Structure 1
Amino acid sequence: MASSERIVGSDGAALRGPDLARAALQAAREQSAQRRRTPVRKPVGAGQRRRRGWSGARPDDRDPQPLGRLASRLAAERGWADRLTSGQVFAKWSTLVGADVAEHTRPVELKEGVLTVQARSTAWATQLRLLQRQILKRIADGVGDGVVRRLKVQGPAAPSWRKGPRHIPGRGPRDTYG
């Protein structure tokens, strides 16, 4: 309330203290009563919704839902199903290919149905290439058909001779050996 405003009582005198508080309370009560008298307009289509009673013995949308069902529904609505399915390949790698193969290999990337797998040695890379059909079948049985269509096997990465932030193109360390 600004200092220039003055509340005047019925007798014309300025109100102060408890009289001012009583007048403010009375004005608030009158505003509240006036708001209650005005009807509230319902939005269009609000009358179409029917309120149901008890849900009954059968399952209903209002019943508590298992967390797994809610998570799968959320993933389907948001379009995450493909990414989650491909994530299962990485999570279940040892059970899909077996403990022995999983000990010497690791999945690196799954992009457009092509799974890139890196082996610890060239011998294991060769072995994976030979077992490619069996591995693809086991992945399809464990995760789903069509998730992995092709396997790309990489051997171990060669050591890099690049040291430091600057590099000069050339033959590398071979030209300094004598």
Structure 2
Amino acid sequence: MTIQRDADARSADAPRGADLAREALRAAREAAAQRAAGPGGRKRSVVGRGRRRRRWSGPGPDDRDPQPFGRLISRVSMDRGWSPRLTDATVLGRWPQLVGPDIADHCTPIALRDAELTLQAESTAWATQLRTLQRQLLARLAAAVGPDVVRRIRVVGPTGPSWRHGPRHIRGRGPRDTYG
């Protein structure tokens, strides 16, 4: 009987189901508040842990503001290493604006490789004229697209029709040798 009384006394003092749940919830809340306080005792936000709060860009320009399309394209071309090829394309694409309509009417740019611009003249007279104007053309191109884009100009005269097709060729009479 004494055992029964001791068990009844213990059960009256011990918390039961709902009381145990309340006590566990209170302990968990205290532990979370201590973790949120962090070092130094200051409270910090649990939701935005490790992230800075975004602020308004204000009256000045910011990276999040809309950017002009040209600036974005130049940034992408610099990041990917396309800038040298774009300047080469600028020389070939804007040829009439760079050298003037008189010269552009009588020659066409063929290629730009290793800072050497190859021009094809429409006649041998214009090929000679372009060779004499070479320094002025280099100065115009350097002023327009940059000093190291074009360093040399090679002028090629007009060529006649060719019967060659493809990169390989066998010496001989060619297509005129059909009837033996």
User: What is the TM-score with the length of structure 2 in the denominator?
Assistant: 0.64
Task: Indicate which of 144, 148, 154 corresponds to 1:146.
Answer: 148
Partner of 2:132: 130
Q: In structure 2, do the counterparts of structure 1 residues 150 and 162 end up closer, same or farther at CA, with 3 Å as the change threshold? A: closer
Q: In structure 2, do the counterparts of structure 1 residues 162 and 74 end up closer, same or farther at CA, with 3 Å as the change threshold? A: closer
Deviations 1:90-145 (CA, angstroms, capped at 9, x unpaired):
12211211111100100010001000111111111111011100000011111111
CA distance in 2, matches of 1:146, 1:168: 40
Partner of 1:69: 71
Deviations 1:16-35 (CA, angstroms, capped at 9, x unpaired):
xxxxxxxxxxxxxxxxxxxx
Percent identity over the alignment?
A: 61
SS in 2 for 1:103: helix
SS in 2 for 1:100: helix
CA distance in 1, matches of 2:106, 2:81: 34
CA distance in 2, matches of 1:66, 1:168: 56
Give how far 1:160 is off.
Answer: 1.8
- Which structure 1 residue ranges, 4+ long, deviate > 4 Å from structure 2? 171-175
SS in 2 for 1:129: helix
Give the structure with the higher percent helix.
2
SS in 1 for 2:61: coil
Partner of 1:88: 90
CA distance in 2, matches of 1:86, 1:124: 24
SS in 1 for 2:105: helix
Give how far 1:48 is off.
Answer: 3.9
Gapped runs of 5+ residues in structure 1?
1-45
Deviations 1:151-171 (CA, angstroms, capped at 9, x unpaired):
0110011222458xxx76236
User: What is the TM-score with the length of structure 1 in the denominator?
Assistant: 0.65
Partner of 1:119: 121
Partner of 2:52: 50
Q: In structure 2, do the counterparts of structure 1 residues 70 and 126 end up closer, same or farther at CA, with 3 Å as the change threshold? A: same
CA distance in 2, matches of 1:146, 1:161: 38
Partner of 2:101: 99
Query: How big is the alpha-carbon RMSD for the aligned residues of Structure 1 and Structure 2?
Result: 2.5
Task: Indicate which of 43, 55, 59 corresponds to 2:61.
Answer: 59
